[in-house]
């Protein structure tokens, strides 16, 4: 009997090991073709959000063991109840997967399903709203660093990837925003000036293991990397006073408001409601490169989903996420002649990426660019940008001013020589007000 038990146990253990090997191999193969960036892989997934504590204006930066979750949500506008699963991958500072064992960064298991979904109600287009928190009762993150969230469908095909950062506030940094010290950039650029930062008590030899990154408006494509201190004293790390971290100030974001479809609001020209669709035409837009700076309130490129005239009951149960309509938003830009490069509409709603849906086409008869995007009711910020190949040029259409209010985030990475992974030991966010 004992021998039988041992043989059976060995068989079960072998089966478990084979399952684990197969699972790891499958995951490696599955994630070979994903993009290690914010990306939506299918056109029926809309309104992807990753917000701390579900706050409208937050960015996906999560404090380790801070008690406040990152809320992930998205809509499937095919309107069917589907099975979706998610994985969390630990990344290095350059957004490449690390070789850290899953058990060393995640308490719980990858491949959890997303059980929380709600069907839309009384909307022209039916959709299903999915949401979940990180961390949750089944999962907890154990270390700081960069992470990639991968959401897959029932066929293990990726539908969403999203970056997020988990930080542990061990250090702070003294900083300021100034006009650029270059004569040709004084009126157009902002310089983020890094001063000293206080070392954690008892730490030594930090200089060669510290790297700073500075991001503008949560856009990973507008950032400075590989910023290192020039020397280290007993209490401080020091940065060069001549360090040039100059960003184009650009201008305040264009915005529009579709929280109500009963009447036109901010920058909305007309709303046409049909039995099977709702068309929203925005006010006529003009280039802003050659006009003076105008200070207006914006949301630094972000968007948030909500409706007007909600009751307290609606707010308590967050009914706007399933009662807001999807509309065909018609963007336009009036110019006499087309640009040499492709023109796109860009904002947080499309991850500031070149998406074909938001590639504008020039209508020579109307003398303007047009495109139509399917967007949920809410408040949106956006820019027009030209595709310059390896970067997006916003300035040629939008202009650039040193007075523009922007939102900056400083991330402090530390390569632990013992743990061999990139920790995020500090995060500072602030706005520019010159």
- pLDDT tens, residue by residue, 309-340: 555 555 555 677 899 999 999 999 999 999 99
Q: Does the model's pTM come out above 0.85?
A: yes
Cα–Cα distance between 87 and 201 in angstroms, integer? 36
pLDDT above 50: residue 19: no
Model pLDDT, residue 232: 85
Structure tokens at 422: 């990139």
Long-range contacts of 362-366 (CB under 8 A, 24+ apart): 362/338, 364/338
141 or 239, greater pLDDT? 141
Structure tokens at 272: 């046409």
pLDDT above 90: residue 383: yes
**Residue 387 CB coordination number (10 Å):** 15
What single-letter DSSP state applies at residue 148?
A: E
pLDDT above 90: residue 12: no
Q: Which fold has domain 175-250+405-431?
A: Immunoglobulin-like (2.60.40)
Model pLDDT, residue 7: 36
- pLDDT tens, residue by residue, 255-304: 999 999 999 999 999 999 999 999 999 999 999 999 999 889 999 999 99
Q: How far is CA 364 from CA 48, 263, 281, 337, 387, in A?
A: 34, 30, 19, 8, 20
pLDDT above 80: residue 113: yes
Model pLDDT, residue 54: 61
Model pLDDT, residue 236: 85
Cα–Cα distance between 123 and 77 in angstroms, integer? 11
Q: What radius of gyration, in Å, describes the C-alpha atoms of the chain?
A: 24
- Indicate the domain borders of the chain: 36-167, 175-250+405-431, 254-398
Model pLDDT, residue 29: 53
Model pLDDT, residue 424: 95
- pLDDT tens, residue by residue, 190-247: 999 998 888 776 666 777 889 999 999 999 999 999 999 988 888 888 888 888 899 9
Model pLDDT, residue 274: 97
| CB neighbour list of residue 175: distance below 8 Å, 6 or more residues apart | 192, 193, 194, 195, 410, 428, 430
Cβ–Cβ < 8 Å for 387, 341: yes
* 3-23: average pLDDT: 39
Confidence band, pLDDT 50/70/90 cuts, at residue 3: very low
pLDDT above 70: residue 15: no
Evaluate whether the domain defined by 36-167 bears CATH number 2.60.40.
yes
The domains spanning 36-167 and 175-250+405-431 adopt the same CATH topology: yes
pLDDT above 50: residue 410: yes
* Sheet with 368-376, edge to edge strand ranges: 268-273, 278-282, 326-334, 368-376, 361-363
Q: How far is CA 127 from CA 5, 61, 118, 159, 179, in A?
A: 52, 28, 9, 16, 47
- pLDDT tens, residue by residue, 24-83: 444 555 567 899 999 999 999 999 999 997 666 678 999 999 999 999 999 999 988 899
Model pLDDT, residue 26: 46
Percentage of residues in the chain with pLDDT exceeding 70?
Answer: 88
Cα–Cα distance between 24 and 51 in angstroms, integer? 29
* Sheet with 219-227, edge to edge strand ranges: 219-227, 210-216, 407-415, 422-431
The three-point CA angle 325-327-328 to 5° equals 170
């Amino acid at each position: 009997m004992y021998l039988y038990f041992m043989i059976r146990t060995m068989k079960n253990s072998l089966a478990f090991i084979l399952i684990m090997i197969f699972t790891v191999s499958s995951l490696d193969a599955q994630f070979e073709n994903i993009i290690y960036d914010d990306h939506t892989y299918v056109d029926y997934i809309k309104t992807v959000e990753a917000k701390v504590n579900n706050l409208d204006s937050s960015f996906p930066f999560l404090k380790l063991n801070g008690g406040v979750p990152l809320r992930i949500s998205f809509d499937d506008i095919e309107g069917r109840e589907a099975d979706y699963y998610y994985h969390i991958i630990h990344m290095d500072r350059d957004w490449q997967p690390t070789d850290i064992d899953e058990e060393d960064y995640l308490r719980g298991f990858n491949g959890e399903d997303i059980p929380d979904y709600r069907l839309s109600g009384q909307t022209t287009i039916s959709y299903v709203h999915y949401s979940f928190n990180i961390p949750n009762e089944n999962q907890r993150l154990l270390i700081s660093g960069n992470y990639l969230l991968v959401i897959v469908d029932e066929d293990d095909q990726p539908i969403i990837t999203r970056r997020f950062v988990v930080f542990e506030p061990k250090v702070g940094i003294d900083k300021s925003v100034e006009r650029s010290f270059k004569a040709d950039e004084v009126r157009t650029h902002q310089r983020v000036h890094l001063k000293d930062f206080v070392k954690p008590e008892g730490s030594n030899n930090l200089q060669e293991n510290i790297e700073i990154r500075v991001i503008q408006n949560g856009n990973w494509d507008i950032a400075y990397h590989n910023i290192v201190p020039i020397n280290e004293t007993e209490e401080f790390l020091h940065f060069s006073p001549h360090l040039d971290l100059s960003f184009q100030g650009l201008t305040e974001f264009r915005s529009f408001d579709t929280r109500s479809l009963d009447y036109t609001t901010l920058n909305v020209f007309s709303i046409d409601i049909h039995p099977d669709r709702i068309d929203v035409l925005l006010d006529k837009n003009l280039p802003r490169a050659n006009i003076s700076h105008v200070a207006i309130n914006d949301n630094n490129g972000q968007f948030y989903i909500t409706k007007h005239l909600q009751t307290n009951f609606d707010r308590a149960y967050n009914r706007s996420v399933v009662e807001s309509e999807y509309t065909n938003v018609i963007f336009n830009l009036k110019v006499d002649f087309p640009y040499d490069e492709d023109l796109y509409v860009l904002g947080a709603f499309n991850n500031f990426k070149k998406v074909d849906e938001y590639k504008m086409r020039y209508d020579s008869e109307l003398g303007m660019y047009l495109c139509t995007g399917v967007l949920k009711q809410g408040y949106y910020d956006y820019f027009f940008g030209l595709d310059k190949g390896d970067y997006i040029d916003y300035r040629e259409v939008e202009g650039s001013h040193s007075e523009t209010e922007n939102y900056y985030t400083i991330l402090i990475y530390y390569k632990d020589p013992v743990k061999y992974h990139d920790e995020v030991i500090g995060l500072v966010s602030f706005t520019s007000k010159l």
